[in-house]
Chains A and B, each alone.
Chain A
Amino acid sequence: MRRYLSLYGVFFVQRLKILMEYRVNFLIGATSTSFLQIGGVLAMWVVMRQIPSLNGWSFDEVLLVFGLVTISESITHMFADNLWTLGWQYIRSGEFDRFLVRPIDPLFHLLADRFCHDGIGNLLVGTALVVKAMSALHIPFTVATALYLVIAVLTGGAIFIALNLLTASSAFWLVDSIPVTFLVYNTYEFAKYPLTIYGRGIRIALTWLIPYGFASFYPASYLLGRNVGALAWMGPLVAVLFMSLAYRAWKFGLAHYTSTGS
């Protein structure tokens, strides 16, 4: 474990050196995602000027939900973006072989290989939204809330990574896994809003099937003092469950890896 942490540090520093070589790309990448998120927030603001409350949720309360899921997303974006391109960049070209001749875990190698700076924008925007929402709503920032926030965000990040890993593992058969990942990943758009605005079906799906709800709605509800029962605390458990499921799928896929003919 310690070895992997320090190794990640080395990979990270080398990655920064590459990024610094393409400084303009770095700036564009790091800010482009934030423009997208800001666009989303503006659209929501326009809508909510007409209807001051969304199913009993004020604009600032919705911002908290929005902000939390944005931070969680930024974690996958920064640390696990290579899962997206596993198929066409690594498996199709046979480059994945390189991971398998090295004495480290291939999944670690894949993820560490490319820290993705595009996620930084989301991290900043998400954090700004959460801070803005919390101060507007006068939620006291105590040690306990800080701790809860950190756990919530890490849980959310883990759920994002688990779902991406699960879908990316299909690349071992399909080669191009992007459509599958995209399909599942995109449902997180729903989790930018309180789940109460949706019908029962979607609510259940976003809680137990594609559990993005634990990355936004449930922790936000808890912080706002809205009663969601045990669901306020079940996030980490769900994250661990999905993570182990996803890791199994990955292992299964890996056993089916057949490399390429050239």
Chain B
Amino acid sequence: MPVIRTEQLTKIFRVVRKEPGLRGSLKALVRPRFENIAAVNQVSFEIDAGEIVGYIGVNGAGKSTTIKMLTGILVPTSGSVQVLGRDPHRQRVANAREIGAVFGQRTQLWWDLPFIESLALVGRIYEVPPARYRQLLKDFEDTLGLSELLHIPIRNMSLGQKMRAELAATLIHEPRVVYLDEPTIGLDLLAKERIRDFIREQNRGRGTTVLLTTHDLGDIEQLCPRVIIIDAGRLIYDGPIATIKERFGRHREITFETSEATTAIELPRDCTRLAAEPHRLTLRFDRTRTTASQIAAAVMEQIEVLDFSLAEPDLASIVRQIYQGGLREVEGNPRS
């Protein structure tokens, strides 16, 4: 049985549309014009126990709104959502006991309390048995390097420290499902690594199901075998990250540095020109239709080449293509 299941999940926000300026504000006050925003639009997916799924999309795509419906904070406008067999909004308290949520831009801890006190309070709220609490605290001290943080209030912590504290507080009641909304936002590489290691370990060691949103594709590459992509509230891809890479990875980019201007060159077959600089030529080609050496040969015949390089597309550029509407190429990808 899936741990999370959404069916045609939809959230529509009704917002007042305001024209600019004071007049606009007054007009909105006297006769408000409402506008409906479909933040999440008929999204259906299922997530099984023990999965780590990356939930990605551009700013405003509807990621956080989805998570708020999964945690029971928001009521769906239509469609349904079930987490561990429950309706997260109607059975909010029962659901809350079994989930944890981190909203990367906020803290759920008490700003002025030393971290250990905050954590103890959270432990009491979730009724974590004292022996279990001590055990987990010890675990987290090792894996998250908490010992140096215990007596610092949240307000004095750096971003990376805060996120470690936040994760510990979110996992102290051993939730079965964890939602992480941008857990690595603003962190340096080392801090990101640490957070990723911890998430991986919780997932492997305890079988915690994780749904993670991020704009950092490193998170996805290292943690999530499966991604769900949404755009303007609609699900546009759900499947293995490998599939996307393979489909889009068919393309390669080859760049030549030349001594002469490249403007007049006749392009080899089966490729397109990307950059348009006078002494540099970047070509994109499908490796199933032509090869790098064929292209290189065709170019070198026409022009003196000083240097050239071949690039495999990284996930970032693939995702950029998808966001820009390239997904038609990977349609028809339902998970079985």
Contact = CB atoms under 8 A, between A and B. Distances in A.
Interface of A: 3, 7, 10-11, 14, 17-18, 21, 93-95, 97-98, 100-104, 255, 257-259, 261-262
Contact of A10 (B64, B103, B121): B121
A18 B155 CA distance: 12
Interface residues of B, number: 30
B92 A21 contact: no
B170 to A, nearest CB: 9
Nearest to B111: A18
Contacts of A18: 110, 112-113
Interface stretch (B71-79, B133-141, B271-279, B317-325): B71-79
Contacts of A98: 106, 108
Given A7-B125, A10-B124, A100 B72 contact: yes
A262 B68 CA distance: 11
Contacts of A262: 64, 105
Contacts of B71: 100-101
Contacts, number: 62
B106 A101 contact: no
A259 B110 CA distance: 20
Interface in B102-142: 103, 105-106, 108, 110, 112-113, 117, 121, 124-127
Residues of B contacting A: mostly:
mixed
Contact of A100 (B92, B94, B97, B113): B92
A11 B73 contact: no
Contacts of B99: 101
B13 interface: yes
B96 A103 contact: yes
B73 A102 contact: no
Contacts of B113: 14, 17-18
Given A102-B96, A255-B75, A259-B68, 5 more contacts: A7-B124, A14-B121, A21-B112, A102-B126, A262-B64
B105 A100 contact: no
B234 to A, nearest CB: 18
Interface string B226-239: 00000000000000
Interface in B277-302: none
5 contacts: A17-B117, A100-B73, A100-B92, A102-B126, A258-B13
Interface string B80-108: 00000000000011101101110101101
B97 A103 contact: yes
